[in-house]
Amino acid sequence: MGGPGVKSRVSHEIEPLAEEWDELADAVRAAPFLRPGWFIAFWGAFGRGELHLVECRAGGRLTGVLPLARRRGRLDALANYHSPFFAPLAKDRESAGELARAAMELGPRHLSLPLLAGDDESAGALASGLAAAGARLLTRVQQRTPVVELAGSPDWETFRAGLSRGLRKELGRHERRIEELGPLRLEVVTEPAGLDAQLDEAFRLEGSGWKAERGTAILSRAETRRFYTDLCRWAARRGILRLYFLRAGPRALAVDLTLEDGGVRYMLKGGFDPDFGRFAPGTVLLGRGLEEAFARGLHRVELGGGDDPYKLRWTSKVRERLLVKAFAPTALGMAERAIVHHGRPLARRLIGLAQARPRRRGTPPSGRMRQS
């Protein structure tokens, strides 16, 4: 596959590609969850179907990677609601476009790209490349993630002064009340040594209360616990893990699991002990964490997930995450597009018509239409 000077191929294992993949990620300053370590943890926990790593190369050097899974005639990006966002890893727009062309050449009825970074140049080039390859696209905003830009304020005190009066008063009141329980302190875990014990405490705290009841906590599913355990071990070895505990004396009241790289902190999971909910420990922890981010010279903190009201108390800026579905320009591809866009009853009829190929009298059925 590929045009002059550019070659693409598909491989099926992450580890043999990991060194080159990390080198490319370093060159383009990629976020942690576009690196092979993230996807090794992701595939080990959530992997279903057949792994397809679409590679793009120029002069023999890796210039792009698009990790996908083939499942029943479609291709899905390796991303779910545990992913802050998804984007192709590409050196330039040409490489991203080649990844798109090569992915559609694999013949899926449709390609699903959840949580695609709406402001990422490579993600935009990938979408353009899919359209250029003849795919019909459906796009919608899937999530708006709040972002705190620290570069806009010289220090924590200036930033805090810009918060609403109600939030400032709440922070002060709850910090004083927590101090009555014991010395208030922020503990930060970064090292691999003793990490498993720290993760046990963090996972129990994150899963207490409503998350466990709704089944969204890390400990609610074995595969989710495996993902975050493997992820944190990898991140600690790489030096990008920052696990924050808010403690009153020895007792942990709240926890935030974050990754930090390139001056940006990405918040992945958090929770608090509901027995101390009246002290708003999650709010206090977020404030202490932002104060620490200013002290260490970070320039952005991404709060993760959707634009929940409690996050928008800290910022009005959001980054859009898109759901992009690319449908093959075939009868089956257009039928699947109808499923998504128009509803299932009509689409079932279209799929039945698409699969019933006309044939001459006396010739055996030829099966499903060939996918392009």
Q: pLDDT confidence of 372, banded at 50, 70, 90?
A: very low
- Per-residue confidence (pLDDT) for residue 363, from 0 to 100: 37
84 and 179 part of one domain: no
The last residue of a domain, from among 87, 111, 134: 134
Query: 35 pLDDT exceeds 90?
Result: yes
Mean pLDDT of 80-87: 96
CATH, residue 102: 3.40.630
161 and 308 part of one domain: yes
Q: Which of 74-78, 173-177, 223-227, 338-342 has the lowest mean pLDDT?
A: 338-342
Mean pLDDT of 205-223: 85
CATH, residue 183: 3.40.630.30
Domain membership of residue 329 (yes or no) is no
| 319-363: pLDDT as tens digits | 999 999 999 988 777 878 887 777 655 545 555 555 555 444 333
The last residue of a domain, from among 134, 164, 191: 134
242 and 204 part of one domain: yes
| 298-314: pLDDT as tens digits | 999 999 999 999 999 99
| Closest C-alpha to 212, from 220, 204, 223 | 220
Domain membership of residue 346 (yes or no) is no
Helix/strand/coil for 73: coil
Domain membership of residue 241 (yes or no) is yes
| Closest C-alpha to 1, from 134, 136, 133 | 133
Provide the residue count of the chain. Answer: 372
Count of CA atoms in the C-beta half-sphere (13 A) of 112: 16
Domain membership of residue 357 (yes or no) is no
Domain membership of residue 89 (yes or no) is yes
Domain membership of residue 206 (yes or no) is yes
187 and 289 part of one domain: yes
34 and 174 part of one domain: no
Mean pLDDT of 109-124: 94
| 44-55: pLDDT as tens digits | 999 999 999 999
- Per-residue confidence (pLDDT) for residue 341, from 0 to 100: 76
248 and 306 part of one domain: yes
- Please give the model's pTM, rounded to 2 decimal places: 0.88
153 and 295 part of one domain: yes
Domain membership of residue 345 (yes or no) is no
Domain membership of residue 349 (yes or no) is no
Distance CA 355, CA 370 (A): 10
Distance CA 103, CA 20 (A): 20
Of 72 and 358, which is predicted with more confidence?
72
108 and 194 part of one domain: no
123 and 154 part of one domain: no
Query: 56 pLDDT exceeds 60?
Result: yes
Give the range of the structural domain holding residue 125, as residue numbers without chain letter. Answer: 6-134
Q: 49 with 70: CB under 8 angstroms? A: yes
| 239-297: pLDDT as tens digits | 999 999 999 999 999 999 999 999 999 999 999 999 999 999 999 999 999 999 999 99
**The dihedral of CA 276, 279, 280, 285: what is its sign?**
negative
Instruction: Give the count of domains, the chain.
Output: 2
- Per-residue confidence (pLDDT) for residue 362, from 0 to 100: 36
102 and 165 part of one domain: no
- Per-residue confidence (pLDDT) for residue 365, from 0 to 100: 36
Q: Largest alpha-carbon pair distance within the chain?
A: 88
Mean pLDDT (the chain) is 90
The last residue of a domain, from among 304, 319, 334: 319
- Give Cβ neighbours of residue 61 (< 8 Å, ≥ 6 apart): 20
83 and 104 part of one domain: yes
- Per-residue confidence (pLDDT) for residue 355, from 0 to 100: 53
152 and 128 part of one domain: no
